[in-house]
Structure 1
Amino acid sequence: MGRRTKVAMTGPEPDGAVLAELKALRDRIPRLTGTLVASNDGLLIAHDLPDHLEPTGMAAMTATQLALSYRLVTTAHGGSFQEVVVNGSGGHVVIYAAGWTALTVLAAPEVNIGRLHLESRPAARAIAARLSALTTTDARNGQPLETE
């Protein structure tokens, strides 16, 4: 079998404010191992992941978990999806709804989940607001997009 290699993906540069939010989140929570933002259809928007994790694959898995969790919540209780926590022996993966995107946070097993939620929920809201503002303005000049 051949060796797998990472292929650089080309596309628009991630928004600086979103990257800053991800880095600030990692600074506020000791033992946070990575973060990423993905669209609900699996496209990578921004990430602050360690080198051994493939960001586009993580974005695709985030979208899959988001869709499954959304379906589970609406089937069981109705209402909207907010977050899902996956605990493993190697750590936690938490996915937060963030508008039309999702914030995924990876943390070591000893991280306090309550603290993680306390810091990550506002970050998810800030990211959703920033990306929502970008979709309603022209990224080239910051002017509102014209609608017909």
Structure 2
Amino acid sequence: MHSHPESPSSDIEAHLSGLRQRVPHLVGAVVASSDGLLIAADLPETIEPTGIAALAAAQLSLSLTFVATTHGSNLHEVTIDSGGGHVVVYAAGPAGLLTVLTDTDAVLGRVHLEARPAARAIANLLTPAFVPAEVMMTGSGFALTSNGSRPEVPKIH
């Protein structure tokens, strides 16, 4: 496992290890900051964790912008289905994300059943003890202002 020295890495690594034990056909998992910095990873040696962390953060950010632009709300996760398996990126509070990689035999329902609570637990580990009064958490993990609106997202014309 790889970890970022300034994180509560042992607790996060325990969640990643637990996912591997509980989810059949899980290839690996990564926890990253919302800006794409690697926090912890449980991946095979053939997969480079810092690249996955950066790509996952970019995917989640793009998806959040897409949802906000189309008047959606409460983005929880993004699922990519490929010929080689699945990549699922879960919001883990305003500070991070959990990405899981599976092979083609994984059952997505089982993946979600185990990974969603892990993402919430990881969000709790990544959330600072002090959160400014103007920011509160939503069920999705993305911050809203105190009046309930999302931070301004640029409109695409």
- How many angstroms does 1:39 deviate by? 0.7
Question: In structure 2, how many angstroms separate the alpha carbons of the residues matched to 1:53 and 1:46?
Answer: 13
User: Contact conserved, 1:74 with 1:80, CA < 8 A, in 2?
Assistant: no
The alignment status of 1:12 with 2:28, answered yes or no, reads no
Match of 2:68 among 65, 74, 78: 74
Q: 2:137 matched to which residue of 1?
A: none
Instruction: Calculate percent identity across the aligned residue pairs.
Output: 52
User: Contact conserved, 1:95 with 1:103, CA < 8 A, in 2?
Assistant: yes
Structure 2 letter corresponding to 1:83: E
Q: Deviations over 1:72-104 (max 9, x none)?
A: 111123313110100001110000000120100
The alignment status of 1:50 with 2:71, answered yes or no, reads no
User: Contact conserved, 2:89 with 2:100, CA < 8 A, in 1?
Assistant: yes
Q: 2:19 matched to which residue of 1?
A: 25
Go from structure 1 to structure 2 and tell me whether the alpha carbon gap of 1:10 and 1:83 turns closer, same or farther (over 3 Å shift): closer
Go from structure 1 to structure 2 and tell me whether the alpha carbon gap of 1:125 and 1:62 turns closer, same or farther (over 3 Å shift): same
In structure 1, list runs of 5 or more residues that go unmatched: 1-8, 138-148
Q: Decide which structure has the larger Cα Rg and report it.
A: 1
Q: 2:116 matched to which residue of 1?
A: 121
Root-mean-square deviation over aligned CA pairs: 1.8
Bigger helix share: 1
Structure 2 letter corresponding to 1:130: L
Q: Deviations over 1:108-130 (max 9, x none)?
A: 11111111111110000000011
In structure 2, list runs of 5 or more residues that go unmatched: 131-157
Question: In structure 1, how many angstroms separate the alpha carbons of the residues matched to 2:73 and 2:6?
Answer: 34
The ranges of structure 1 where at least 4 consecutive aligned residues each deviate by more than 4 angstroms after the TM superposition are: none
Match of 2:129 among 136, 140, 145: 136
TM-score, normalised by the number of residues in structure 2:
0.76
SS at 1:47 equivalent? strand
Go from structure 1 to structure 2 and tell me whether the alpha carbon gap of 1:71 and 1:55 turns closer, same or farther (over 3 Å shift): same
TM-score, normalised by the number of residues in structure 1:
0.80
Q: 2:78 matched to which residue of 1?
A: 84
